[in-house]
């Protein structure tokens, strides 16, 4: 399978601060990848490097293009939705759609209007009159109506209610994703997207802590629930990555354990991606 993103020793510094620290990745196409990290971890900096918005040290290819030198060609095949919408406030929605027809050869006016028909957004309204949620819906409609190979969502649902967040990701899956297209979703709220991901990247302080498929995570990490009175003895033996109390019992998160032996000790479960993330972050998401 062809690579979606190829990075080799990509580094970005701001004075003494390394926003990206020697990141090396090879992500195949046709994936839904979650880029997960706390605020300030380097997620947006990495996305800006991938889309050629800033300079960096190292080597990068996205959809076969070098982001800095071939940004115009790359952005013809890439859609980006940021937390902060960049749509021009003075445009009427109908005029914005006409504008998109003129600037992007892969844009479908018919598709955009079809998407907007499912919302409460009027074509006669100006962008500045829309709520944040409506602006995100509009931005999504324009992006999904454009024929691209890669869709980047950078904290697109921040500050929006849970119903809209679920609708947004449902729309993306139904109206955009297929085996020939790819999604890269940046978030610090992994719980709302982990059910749709094929792969996950954990990033902290500009470094990749983990890059794995969801299937690999399920094979590598296990949760063990045991009676609280057995916790002290088993803690020394098992050395859990993290633990918490639940209804008078203890829950250990373990990496590569002997599951056959543990099945005799307590109850085994597959941990959520959020649980693994918190454990790798040292308990601080």
Domains in the chain, ordered, with CATH?
3-214 (3.40.50.300), 217-280 (3.30.70)
List the structure tokens of 274. 């959020």
Q: What is the mean pLDDT of the chain?
A: 88
Distance CA 164, CA 186 (A): 17
The percent of residues in the chain predicted with pLDDT above 70, rounded, is 96
What's the first-to-final CA gap in the chain, in angstroms? 33
Q: Answer whether 146's CB lies under 8 Å from 79's CB.
A: yes
Write down the pTM of the prediction: 0.85
What is the tens place of the pLDDT at every residue in 188-224? 778 888 888 999 999 999 999 999 999 999 999 999 9
Distance CA 151, CA 176 (A): 9
Q: Which of the pair, 232 or 104, is modelled with greater confidence?
A: 232
Distance CA 107, CA 50 (A): 22
Q: What is the pLDDT of residue 243?
A: 92
How would you class 103 by CB atoms within 10 Å of its CB: exposed for 0-12, middle for 13-18, buried for 19 or more?
Answer: exposed
Which of 123, 54, 47 has its CA nearest to residue 80?
47
Task: Tell me the average pLDDT across 170-190.
Answer: 81
Phi-psi region at 223: left, alpha or beta (left = phi > 0; alpha = psi -120 to 50) = beta
Q: Given a cut of 90, is residue 239 above it in pLDDT?
A: yes
Rounded to 10 degrees, the C-alpha dihedral 186/61/29/174 comes to 50
DSSP 126: B
User: Phi, psi at residue 58, to the nearest 5°?
Assistant: 105, -170
Q: What radius of gyration do the chain's Cα atoms show?
A: 22
Task: Tell me the average pLDDT across 157-170.
Answer: 74
List the structure tokens of 61. 């290819």
Task: Tell me the average pLDDT across 155-173.
Answer: 75
Task: Tell me the average pLDDT across 154-161.
Answer: 74
What is the tens place of the pLDDT at every residue in 241-282? 999 998 989 999 999 999 999 999 999 999 999 999 989 887
């Amino acid at each position: 399978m062809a690579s979606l993103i190829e990075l080799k020793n990509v580094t970005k510094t701001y004075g003494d601060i390394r926003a990206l620290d020697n990141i090396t990745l090879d992500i195949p196409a046709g994936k839904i990848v979650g880029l997960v990290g706390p605020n300030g971890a380097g997620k947006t900096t990495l996305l800006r490097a991938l889309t050629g918005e800033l300079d960096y040290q190292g080597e990068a290819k996205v959809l076969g293009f070098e982001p800095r030198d071939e940004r115009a060609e790359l952005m013809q095949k890439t859609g980006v939705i940021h937390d902060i919408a960049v749509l021009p406030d003075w445009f009427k929605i109908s005029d914005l759609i006409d504008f998109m027809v003129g600037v992007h050869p892969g844009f479908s006016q018919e598709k955009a209007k079809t998407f907007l028909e499912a919302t409460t957004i009027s074509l006669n309204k100006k962008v500045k009159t829309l709520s944040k949620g409506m602006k995100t819906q509009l931005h999504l409609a324009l992006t999904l109506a454009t024929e691209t190979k890669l869709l980047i969502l950078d904290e697109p649902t921040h500050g929006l209610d849970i119903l809209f967040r679920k609708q947004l990701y449902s729309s993306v899956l139904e109206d955009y994703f297929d085996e020939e297209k790819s999604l890269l979703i940046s978030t610090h709220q992994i719980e709302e997207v982990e059910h749709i991901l094929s792969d996950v990247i954990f990033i902290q302080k500009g470094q990749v802590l983990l890059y794995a498929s969801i299937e690999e995570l399920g094979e590598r990490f296990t949760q063990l629930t045991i009676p609280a009175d057995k916790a002290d003895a088993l803690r020394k033996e098992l050395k859990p990555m993290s633990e918490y109390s639940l209804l008078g019992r203890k829950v250990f998160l373990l990496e590569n354990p002997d599951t056959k032996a543990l099945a005799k000790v307590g109850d085994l479960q597959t941990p959520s991606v959020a649980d693994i993330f918190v454990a790798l972050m040292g308990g601080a998401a």
